[in-house]
Structure 1
């Protein structure tokens, strides 16, 4: 890889979001240590406090990362998203005049749209880092109609961006297989494609000393919005309590908790056996280490075939077995063997009961935590993920002057 190559990284997520720390900055710090020079451009939903912004910029600079940001109009509709693309493109051109980028790494669809338009004028190649099927995610979340004109226009833009990509990264093998069949490739050539899941810093997320769960602590980390099925989380925990009345549930989330509280009441779960925490990212590993099993439920949809829940790798890295539902990324294949958790075929009471039976058997196996950790090391290693990105960068930088 050419020394000191200038790389622009575009993120539509704001700098303070937990996933940016784990899924953007963790990678950039390691890749910058190889000699690459990174410029990070983020889109911020809220204004940043001056002192906090200055301290963060200084900290990132010490890690070899220049940071710039734009105020995002996200959430104001399709026209506002396109305005973000237009404003972002203007800033990218100005930054290119200053730093001379050799490569653009675009995280998700709107940054890829910016990178595509920048490439048309500058010739700078771009890596299209898919974070799921973005357009279909909008349908999944009720923000677009799947039979509407805006959806059809967005899908045409998506096809154009995919065709113009110089390299594509998918979060899952299932997503990569779907990509291979996309209509975008008809009459064209599929760009180089790699699968890199949401990786985990295995030094931060480590197993705690083994213990036998006499009073099982079940855990959950992340959003409790509707797509993450808080009703099913509570229903599953109620099924555990029916078998193991001393069980407790601990949730680490920044989401509003009113829907969860209502679900607890509906399922007759006492409030005193459930704990809620809103923790900074640095404190999350120690909390996960306390779990005896952890949940990752997501409402299935075509868009979710290209997903990889960050929490799953974090759970496994801490030696914690995972209870998931099927139809989400590669989880059926990863957890389907049943020796590191359980995949529910559906949310029927019988499926819940079978998963509880299975979990009780797993808890009797002293090698459980070791197997979970080994799966994380094999599939979710941050070092391996960085190596795959470095290989992609080297391939693209080798084609530029």
Structure 2
């Protein structure tokens, strides 16, 4: 079996490291997979940079070839041009590599796979399949008549009709797809997987990182990983951070791991009255994130609620759980908000309900008073975010005999 694995993110993007690489390792372990071509989409500085594929993969099985976006153009025109040029480049790669199918990571990558299918009839599967167009619309990033929204929505419809298999990240979306007429046999839910062992709590890291940051062992430390704005709360997130500081008092400390400009984050912290000494901000490589999580006591997942958010799976929540951190999260975030409420994996707050944040913080505080709470919450990652879910989906949807009949 020869697989062209298409990621919509760049090689050095944290999402590639956290979600694509683990799946590549699963695929290379299969005896019936003889070759994999990883294709990433490079934008910004990496679009012109020399890229080196991360070691640790079987060089005789996995090769790498990026698609490079052209720099210095209007973002809308650039994206449209990508979706006219990239399919042709993928067709050329397919002619040289001769894959049995494309395995696309995410609905935007699935759109490119569909456009290749349109010209070549090369079969394709889409993992991490979500209603991306509606995400962007409901988050206010795209408008209803934005060409990006209109095209992506149509391409998602075609993926539902033509993909040999879809792997949504939430059981909520699997059920929705079935109601839309997608055959249940073509759908397997695969939440964003995490390496629970790699992110497990480490007592030595807990002490070391706190000492490096100047945090006391008795401090209550919250952590946030990710961006602000778009599908995430922006100013509202900082209000929640301040509420946590008020609840936990003088011993509250905050770690923020973000690619956003540090000066912007500092300005927003100052606006809500959080002092520089209370907060550490950095952009951390993915490999350093587990250490920072071990130093924390709980985590924030300030994802902006929207109707289609029920269909998402935030990788950060799985990583938080793997470290044993209870999570403060809004309602309606994938399957996770319901799991958090049912299995005490944190606390749910609703900014539309007065007093909700305070009540959620009190619940979170109670969870952290229970001995060995981290070990219990770590089990949530094992149950709900294990890589075995992806392995089972590949076994169900990608067997060689399916390819032979295409």
- Aligned counterparts of 2:19 and 2:367: Cα–Cα separation in 1: 30
Residue of structure 2 in register with 1:25 after alignment: 21
1:201-234 CA distance string (max 9 Å, x none): 1221112349997320111111123532243332
Q: CA deviation at 1:190?
A: 6.2
- Aligned counterparts of 2:393 and 2:159: Cα–Cα separation in 1: 22
Equivalent positions of 1:61-80 (< 5 A) are 62=59, 64-72=61-69, 76-77=74-75, 79-80=77-78
Structure 2 residue corresponding to 1:46, chosen from 35, 44, 47: 44
Q: 1:274 to 1:226 in 2, by over 3 A?
A: farther
- Aligned counterparts of 1:138 and 1:280: Cα–Cα separation in 2: 26
Q: 1:347 to 1:260 in 2, by over 3 A?
A: farther
Q: 1:336 to 1:395 in 2, by over 3 A?
A: farther
Note the residue ranges of structure 2 that are not aligned, 5 or more in a row: 208-215
- Aligned counterparts of 2:151 and 2:119: Cα–Cα separation in 1: 23
Q: Is the Cα–Cα contact under 8 Å of residues 196 and 385 in structure 1 kept in the other structure? A: yes
Structure 2 residue corresponding to 1:204, chosen from 198, 202, 218: 198
Q: CA deviation at 1:371?
A: 1.5
SS at structure 1 position matched to 2:379: helix
Q: CA deviation at 1:191?
A: 6.3
Q: CA deviation at 1:349?
A: 5.1
Q: Is the Cα–Cα contact under 8 Å of residues 195 and 386 in structure 2 kept in the other structure? A: yes
Note the residue ranges of structure 1 that are not aligned, 5 or more in a row: none
Structure 2 residue corresponding to 1:7, chosen from 3, 11, 22: 3
SS at structure 1 position matched to 2:362: helix
Residue of structure 2 in register with 1:316 after alignment: 321
Query: Please, what TM-score do these two structures have when normalized by structure 1?
Result: 0.88
Q: Is the Cα–Cα contact under 8 Å of residues 296 and 323 in structure 1 kept in the other structure? A: yes
Q: CA deviation at 1:48?
A: 4.2
Residue of structure 1 in register with 2:122 after alignment: 124
Q: CA deviation at 1:165?
A: 1.2
**Residue 326 in 1 paired to residue 322 in 2?**
no
Residue of structure 2 in register with 1:394 after alignment: 399
Q: CA deviation at 1:142?
A: 3.3
Residue of structure 1 in register with 2:187 after alignment: 193
Equivalent positions of 1:100-249 (< 5 A) are 100-146=98-144, 151-152=149-150, 154-182=152-180, 185=181, 192-209=186-203, 214-245=218-249, 246-249=251-254
Q: CA deviation at 1:244?
A: 2.3
Q: Is the Cα–Cα contact under 8 Å of residues 215 and 248 in structure 1 kept in the other structure? A: yes
Q: CA deviation at 1:150?
A: 6.4
- Aligned counterparts of 1:61 and 1:311: Cα–Cα separation in 2: 28
Q: Is the Cα–Cα contact under 8 Å of residues 48 and 68 in structure 2 kept in the other structure? A: no
- Aligned counterparts of 1:26 and 1:304: Cα–Cα separation in 2: 24
Q: Is the Cα–Cα contact under 8 Å of residues 166 and 396 in structure 1 kept in the other structure? A: no
Q: CA deviation at 1:7?
A: 0.4
Query: Please, what TM-score do these two structures have when normalized by structure 2?
Result: 0.87
- Aligned counterparts of 1:223 and 1:15: Cα–Cα separation in 2: 19
Q: Is the Cα–Cα contact under 8 Å of residues 108 and 152 in structure 2 kept in the other structure? A: no
SS at structure 2 position matched to 1:336: helix
- Aligned counterparts of 1:339 and 1:32: Cα–Cα separation in 2: 36
- Aligned counterparts of 2:147 and 2:285: Cα–Cα separation in 1: 41
Residue of structure 2 in register with 1:253 after alignment: 258
Q: 1:350 to 1:384 in 2, by over 3 A?
A: same
Residue of structure 2 in register with 1:296 after alignment: 301
Q: Is the Cα–Cα contact under 8 Å of residues 107 and 130 in structure 2 kept in the other structure? A: no
Equivalent positions of 1:309-388 (< 5 A) are 309-337=314-342, 339-346=344-351, 348=353, 350-388=355-393
Segment drifting more, 366-375 vs 221-230: 221-230
Q: CA deviation at 1:148?
A: 6.1
